[in-house]
Structure 1
């Protein structure tokens, strides 16, 4: 071979290595995203002035109608420890509080908004639910997050981020609102320590769209947190419904860096009933896992806020367990909406159901038959003799990205090898239930991957159906 041909061959070899490396690259999650997915179960506590009016919550009405008297806020038995303890009993690792919602009332001490707890007769105007919530989360070892509603504010007349009209007066009011919001957000991000995540309700239009600049405040004061979301950035994505589930497969990667306000700013995202939000994109260049949210009181209703006489619509245990399998078990996170009542307590029926959920999940995963982990394309689990199994768990080390693209799990029965499941995404966690079988050995075969597969867990279980 000539020197010229040798150089051409060498250059082609180097190019091939570089091309293959580029082809095998996958998006890598931030530490905040890892923390989010490791938490798996999340609670969001919705609390606002209309909890105290004794009426059925009407979102479209509440978005445009101020509460006549903010001093209806009077939780006579407030116990935020009880809220957080109830969430922890369910297995929740991150809890979120609505610091502001659609009325615009701030559940904390604000120097920027007069429409805050400073204005109340309750606790002589010195109460601060956000402060007490953060303390309760720390007490129970739960990461705290904060939910901030700036898209609607019935007190200030803000609808879909904007003051109505284009007069000079309206422009001045818009500027005042934007400045006030920026001040309030800075208070939340500097007066209470670190937040695991911030959730801007319905998004957060920035200066480019005439709104407040909240993203730069977040990046300055909460750089280690998870941001959700505005037109420029989303560190997770809505899972396309409020059913507490996502379909399989649901990839943790996405083709766009943001999902848009109202989840539908892009036609590609909103079409086909938000299909892209539900499934993600295996070739997406951005790491943005799906979240699956649902109110605990959603069985025949959809109560994000407490309403009187509605204990009957708390989801039954079997439906909550199904949510768990179809959210956490589908590479997503399960966010349950919890509803403190007008007394300031999670109702007994809700707390009881949360405890039942936590106990049932623990029961279903307490009998681990065997497990393995490692790097490679073939993983073997040998059991002691032939044993009954009906559930398996797979986890990738997603700190190195979602690499697996196609896999097969099979078990060795007395009549030979039987396919248990063929799938695509594993991601943070994949859980599969199946009819009871007896096997002596199992294989996990990674058939396609981008880069070397990194399997954090391959485990099998047996549990008795009640």
Structure 2
């Protein structure tokens, strides 16, 4: 296959509907909750007595409202972490809420959160740790795989629609000193059978881990990547096996390029495998009172938002409930501040219905389709045209400092672009970027102009653009 053939192949790789459904959520919550909140640990040993778990004021509606205030569209709950303690009354273990003093053993955290999400309009997802430091069959691979699938079946059949099943690849020793061999294919088959619309994330074929837990985002995040990446997090030798804070900070510069022409030129199989950026609002993933004054500053969260949601990835932000069973007041306040910034910045699209011209366009994909507010339409030049220019006339001079670009949802093609504005009869550069993909948020110092243009300098086969939006966010700072 020639390079030209490979470029066209890459341009034609498309997502599944379940992948799209998560990408279009953009921003959602992770909620780490377990016995660890009560023992002040990050990783439990599996030897914790269920009697320590008693979130007497647990209010899942408070969690949901805080997430909604931040602009989130979903919530993923750690139904079981590495300690093996189950937040639902599983029939397959005694190490669960049914043996805790919370609600006299009759409570079900998973039920409360799932119901609160539906009441509040959030989508609900589950995290289930394959590593279980409590379960005695862990390390007896056939027996434990059956145990794990039984628990997975409980979660997939008892709590309504699930938008995501989130797995990590942690694989340490169990109570018997043995290492488990996970039957990933069987897990996936069960999910596809019982929740066919659910994305399987990280250790799964649908959503890819960005490669670190520090909120680091690539300059060029491709959704079309080598097929081999599907199995990276499943390789036991690379799995996280210790409660090591350094793991959360690591990312490899060698992995910065996952989808350029240099990469795809050497690959036989490419897949749609979009990235998710995950980090915690605090230093830890579970609640620690000592971190109440260490909630990430708004500026840091905005930076991650730009790099993730604004850089062709999704943003999964963890908020850990405290021992009351509530999001701490400091976390709630920061979430509201972030949501206020998002809503204020992207409130009024100055380019809605603007006049648009392009250097060329297919008859069925005119330039006006880039500003019509419809994600099902898009502008595109003629097939084989890899460079093109789109010019937007705002009608009058406007001050703006953000442009939001989106390609048509079923492909990713733009490799290099520039945004320019007209000032005193001359075009001046406001922003230079690489990929666009699902969404690219382009912030720059405020400028005032009637005209702004997008110059696509490199693309695959031919580019497309479904959205060209212009905003002024500085007045909301």
Where on the TM-score scale, by shorter chain, does this alignment land: which range?
0.7 to 0.9
Matches within 5 A, 1:152-167: 153-156=132-135, 163=139
- In structure 1, the residue matched to 2:220 is 249
Matched position secondary structure for 1:39: coil
- In structure 1, the residue matched to 2:321 is 340
Matched position secondary structure for 1:427: coil
Matched position secondary structure for 1:428: coil
Matched position secondary structure for 1:199: strand
Q: How far apart are the structure 2 equivalents of 1:219 and 1:249?
A: 31
| Structure 1 pair 138–447 and aligned structure 2 pair: CA distance change class (3 A) | same
Mapped contact 1:238–1:277 kept (Cα < 8 A): no
Matched, 1:28 2:14: yes
Shift of 1:246: 0.5
- In structure 2, the residue matched to 1:226 is 199
Shift of 1:353: 0.9
| Structure 1 pair 32–278 and aligned structure 2 pair: CA distance change class (3 A) | farther
Mapped contact 1:394–1:458 kept (Cα < 8 A): yes
- In structure 2, the residue matched to 1:313 is 294
Moved more, 111-120 or 288-297: 111-120
Residues 415-450 of structure 1: CA distance to partner in whole angstroms, max 9, x if unpaired?
Answer: 401122333210011111112222221111333333
Matches within 5 A, 1:247-286: 247-255=218-226, 256=228, 258-261=230-233, 273-275=251-253, 278-282=256-260, 283=264, 285-286=270-271
Shift of 1:177: 2.2
1:458 to 451, 456, 468: 468
Aligned residues: 420
Matched position secondary structure for 1:84: helix
Matched, 1:394 2:405: yes
Q: How far apart are the structure 2 equivalents of 1:277 and 1:196?
A: 28
- In structure 1, the residue matched to 2:176 is none
Matched, 1:90 2:70: yes
| Structure 1 pair 278–328 and aligned structure 2 pair: CA distance change class (3 A) | farther
Q: How far apart are the structure 1 equivalents of 2:56 and 2:472?
A: 46
1:381 to 392, 401, 409: 392
Gaps of 5+ in 1: 1-14, 164-170
Matched, 1:176 2:160: no
Q: How far apart are the structure 2 equivalents of 1:222 and 1:49?
A: 28
Matched, 1:427 2:437: yes
Mapped contact 1:393–1:460 kept (Cα < 8 A): yes
Gaps of 5+ in 2: 173-179, 240-246, 353-369, 372-377, 381-387
Matched position secondary structure for 1:363: helix
- In structure 1, the residue matched to 2:211 is 240
| Structure 1 pair 422–265 and aligned structure 2 pair: CA distance change class (3 A) | farther
- In structure 2, the residue matched to 1:47 is 33
Q: How far apart are the structure 1 equivalents of 2:447 and 2:236?
A: 44
| Structure 1 pair 249–20 and aligned structure 2 pair: CA distance change class (3 A) | closer
Matched position secondary structure for 1:386: strand
| Structure 1 pair 266–154 and aligned structure 2 pair: CA distance change class (3 A) | closer
Mapped contact 1:203–1:228 kept (Cα < 8 A): no
Matched position secondary structure for 1:326: helix
Residues 139-181 of structure 1: CA distance to partner in whole angstroms, max 9, x if unpaired?
Answer: 1111111001112x222268xxx53xxxxxxx4xx43322211
Q: How far apart are the structure 2 equivalents of 1:277 and 1:74?
A: 43
Largest Rg, 1 or 2: 1
Mapped contact 2:46–2:85 kept (Cα < 8 A): no
| Structure 1 pair 149–87 and aligned structure 2 pair: CA distance change class (3 A) | same
Matched, 1:66 2:34: no
Matched, 1:117 2:59: no
Matched position secondary structure for 1:138: helix
1:294 to 279, 285, 305: 279
